[in-house]
């Protein structure tokens, strides 16, 4: 029997006493211990009548047991459906109903609210807490520690990951075994991971970055993971000397730079720092290199595709870009209306094709047809351009495009200028309704610690570089920008907050 995902990521480690996971308290779990744990969960699935092709929704804190659920799903051919721990019961209701999940695994503290919902949708409920306790663990404990792997093929679904749904109903991206495996193989090669690596892992595992990038790479390469429940600056600094690699979102790196303990000596032995899930400011890139001598490796991916592009491991890692298309993946820039491919330096929609691209949206054939072309190219919704050297620049989301008085305005162009102004730590630019122009530009600025921003001076300075229609009609200073759990600025929340700025009577 064959099961590509389980065989290649997990099964090859059966019987190995090498360390797979190391906790913050230095407790360790070997590869074989981990697989014994996942096999017990696989047996429990069988007892609960969870069959191949069923969906298992998981809304729990990060733990080795949560990761073992992923392995158990792979071994049984069950479809893994990780859910953001911040989702409300109302949101979870939609995910269970839409996916037809047969099992919901949730934290014990939420079972009172979630159990009636799940049971009303014919889903079994088990609990799993951050410390590994709960009904799932207690029931699985008496099960055998070896499980006969269910036969699957590379085109079978391995997971459904729901998008954030900021512009409507969340969409369930269907990811196959080959989608996950092909991307992991490519990244191990591109980023030079080996069994000698030690990955410092402080990302959540309900998201592509922490789950399918960080974990799958480590399983494929056979390296150890230092597995932290969440990002804790003190723990990161304490454990960096034991690590060789780190994956994070930009805030991981800005927080390190704001701490005097983070020195070049502390980072000297590290092999690579990788950033993604949100844009890394060029300023952060430069400051990090000045402090440590390391150039952060920035890459570009999304729920529907895993990773698409990466700055080179060997070669220039160019600040403000996400590098080149990964091996086996095609990336092109197209005109939003005609679909015609555009030349270098012209902004358009980013489209991607390759074995990493998802199968479509769960139970949404019309939406799938809108975004997945017949020739296999996926219309990402991201706006970008290639520079003359072939590096990809992300300009923003298509939905973030501002059309003011009939003119197209790309927020990134304005943000780059605002970020350079005195006293500005970071910025974001949104479009809000305007009675004359349809939309107008608003700049939201976050000041550097203990500094003030002269808004008149900022307006005057950027006016020298921007056409009048691109200049912000209003600049607003805030303490911080709203972000999701992966560090992405939530522009939709800002648009909601300031939608009446120019339209109130």
Split at pLDDT 50, 70, 90, the class of 504 is low
Percent of the chain at pLDDT above 90?
82
Cβ 440 vs Cβ 461: under 8 Å: no
pLDDT at 145 over 80: yes
- Kindly state the tokens that stand for 481: 């920008």
The conformation of residue 280, written as its DSSP 8-state character, comes to P
| CA 85, 485, 381, 82 torsion-angle sign | negative
CATH superfamily of 401-497: ANL, C-terminal domain (3.30.300.30)
Is the fold of 4-14+28-152 the same as that of 186-397? yes
Q: What is the DSSP string of 89-128?
A: HHHHHHHHHHHT-SEEEE-GGGHHHHHHHHHHTT-EEEE-
Q: What is the DSSP string of 328-352?
A: T-EEEEE-TTT-PBP-TT--EEEEE
Strands (E), 75-233: 79-82, 103-106, 124-127, 157-162, 172-176, 198-201, 224-227
**pLDDT score of 378:** 97
The CA-to-CA distance between both ends of the chain, in Å, stands at: 70
Split at pLDDT 50, 70, 90, the class of 465 is confident
The pTM of this model reads 0.85
The pLDDT tens digits for 218-266 are 999 999 999 999 999 999 999 999 999 999 988 899 899 999 999 999 9
Domain ranges of the chain: 4-14+28-152, 186-397, 401-497
> If you count DSSP H runs as helices and E runs as strands, how many of each does the chain have, helices first?
17, 25
CA-CA distance, 21 to 53, in Å (whole number)? 28
Within 8 A by CB and 6+ apart from 195, the residues are 18, 221, 222, 223
pLDDT at 407 over 50: yes
Assign domain 186-397 to a CATH class. Answer: alpha beta
The residue-averaged pLDDT of 354-368 equals 96
CA-CA distance, 124 to 213, in Å (whole number)? 29
pLDDT at 406 over 90: no
Report which of residues 259 and 84 the model is more confident about. Answer: 259
**pLDDT score of 167:** 44
Report which of residues 484 and 459 the model is more confident about. Answer: 459
Phi, psi of 212 (to 5 degrees): -85, -20
**pLDDT score of 410:** 78
Range of weakest confidence among 116-130, 180-194, 395-409: 395-409
The chain-wide mean pLDDT, for the chain, equals: 93
CA-CA distance, 461 to 463, in Å (whole number)? 5
Pick the CATH number of 4-14+28-152 from 3.40.50.980, 3.40.50.300, 3.30.70.20, 1.10.3720.10: 3.40.50.980
Cβ 245 vs Cβ 239: under 8 Å: no
The pLDDT tens digits for 51-82 are 999 999 999 999 999 999 999 999 999 999 99
Split at pLDDT 50, 70, 90, the class of 438 is confident
């Amino acid at each position: 029997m064959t099961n590509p995902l389980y065989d290649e990521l997990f099964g090859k480690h059966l019987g190995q006493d090498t360390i797979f996971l190391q906790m913050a308290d230095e407790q360790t779990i070997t590869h074989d211990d981990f697989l014994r744990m996942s096999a017990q969960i696989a047996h429990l699935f069988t007892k609960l009548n969870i069959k191949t092709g069923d969906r298992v929704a998981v809304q729990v804190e990060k733990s080795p047991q949560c990761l073992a659920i992923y392995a158990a799903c792979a071994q049984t051919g069950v479809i893994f459906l990780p859910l953001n721990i911040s989702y409300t019961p109302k949101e979870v209701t939609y995910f269970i109903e839409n996916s037809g999940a047969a099992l919901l695994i949730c934290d014990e503290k939420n079972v009172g609210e979630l159990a009636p919902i799940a049971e009303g949708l014919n889903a079994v409920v088990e609990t799993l807490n951050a410390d590994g306790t709960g009904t799932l663990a207690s029931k699985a404990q008496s099960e055998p520690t070896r499980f006969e792997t269910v036969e699957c093929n590379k085109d079978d679904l391995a997971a459904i990951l729901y998008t954030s749904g900021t512009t409507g109903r969340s969409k369930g991206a269907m990811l196959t075994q080959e989608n996950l495996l092909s991307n992991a193989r490519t990244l191990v090669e591109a980023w030079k991971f080996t069994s000698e690596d030690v990955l410092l892992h402080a990302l959540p595992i309900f998201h592509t970055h922490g789950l399918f990038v960080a974990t799958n790479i480590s399983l494929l390469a056979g390296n150890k993971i230092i597995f932290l429940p969440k990002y804790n600056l003190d723990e990161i600094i304490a454990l960096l000397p034991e690590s060789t690699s780190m994956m994070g979102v930009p805030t991981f790196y800005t927080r390190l730079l704001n701490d005097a303990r983070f020195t070049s000596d502390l980072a000297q032995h590290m092999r690579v720092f990788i950033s993604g899930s949100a844009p890394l400011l060029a300023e952060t890139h430069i400051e990090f290199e000045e402090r440590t001598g390391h150039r952060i490796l920035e890459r570009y991916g999304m729920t529907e595709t895993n990773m698409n592009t990466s700055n080179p491991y060997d070669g220039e890692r160019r600040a403000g870009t996400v590098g080149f298309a990964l091996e086996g993946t095609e990336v092109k820039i197209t005109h939003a209306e005609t679909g015609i491919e555009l030349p270098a330096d012209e902004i358009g929609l980013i489209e991607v094709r390759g074995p990493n691209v998802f199968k479509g949206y769960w139970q949404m054939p019309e939406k799938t047809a809108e975004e997945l072309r017949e020739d296999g190219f996926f219309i990402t919704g991201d706006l970008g351009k290639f520079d003359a050297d072939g590096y990809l620049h992300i300009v923003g989301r298509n939905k973030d495009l501002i059309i003011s008085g009939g003119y197209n305005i790309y927020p990134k162009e304005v943000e780059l200028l605002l970020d350079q102004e005195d006293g500005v730590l970071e910025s974001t630019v949104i479009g809000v309704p305007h009675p004359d122009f349809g939309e107008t530009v608003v700049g939201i600025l976050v000041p550097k610690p203990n500094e003030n921003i002269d808004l008149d001076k900022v307006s005057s300075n950027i006016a020298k570089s921007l056409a009048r229609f691109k200049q912000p009609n209003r600049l607003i200073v805030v303490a911080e920008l709203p972000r999701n759990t992966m560090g992405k600025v939530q522009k939709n929340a800002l648009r909601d907050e300031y939608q009446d700025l120019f339209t109130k009577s």
